Amino acid sequence: MNKIGIFFGTETGTTRLVAKKIHKILGDEIADKPVNVNRISPEDLLRYDVLILGTPSYGVAEIPGRSAGCLESNWEEFLAQLDGADLSGKRIALFGLGAQERYADRFAGSLIRLYQSLIERGAEIVGNWSTEGYVFEHSPSIVDGHFVGLVIDQRTQGMLTDQRIETWLEQVKPLLLERVAAAA
Ligand X SMILES: Cc1cc2nc3c(=O)[nH]c(=O)nc-3n(C[C@H](O)[C@H](O)[C@H](O)COP(=O)(O)O)c2cc1C
Instruction: Name the one range near ligand X by CB under 6 A: 41-49, 53-61, 163-171, 176-184.
Output: 53-61
Nearer to ligand X, 92 or 108 (CB): 108
* Main-chain phi, psi angles of 58, to 5 degrees: -140, 145
At its nearest, how many Å lie between ligand X and the CB of residue 66? 13
Residue 75 binds ligand X, judged by CB under 6 A? no
Cβ pair 112, 140 in contact under 8 A: yes
Among 7, 48, 95, 103, binds ligand X (CB under 6 A): 103
Mask 112-141, x = binds ligand X (CB under 6 A)?
Answer: ------------------------------
The DSSP secondary structure of the chain, one letter per residue, reads --SEEEEE--SSSHHHHHHHHHHHHH-TTTBPPPEEGGG--HHHHHT-SEEEEEE--BTTTBPSSGGGT-SS--HHHHHHHHTT---TT-EEEEEEE--TTTTTTSTTTHHHHHHHHHHHTT-EEE--B--TT---S--TTEETTEESSEEE-HHHHGGGHHHHHHHHHHHHHHHHHHHHHHH-
Compute how many residues bind ligand X; rule: CB under 6 A.
19
At its nearest, how many Å lie between ligand X and the CB of residue 129? 14
Residue 172 binds ligand X, judged by CB under 6 A? no
Instruction: Name the one range near ligand X by CB under 6 A: 7-15, 22-30, 123-131, 164-172.
Output: 7-15
Residue 67 binds ligand X, judged by CB under 6 A? no
Instruction: Name the one range near ligand X by CB under 6 A: 44-52, 98-106, 122-130, 164-172.
Output: 98-106
Q: Which residues bind ligand X (CB under 6 A)?
A: 10-15, 56-58, 97-99, 103, 106-109, 154-155
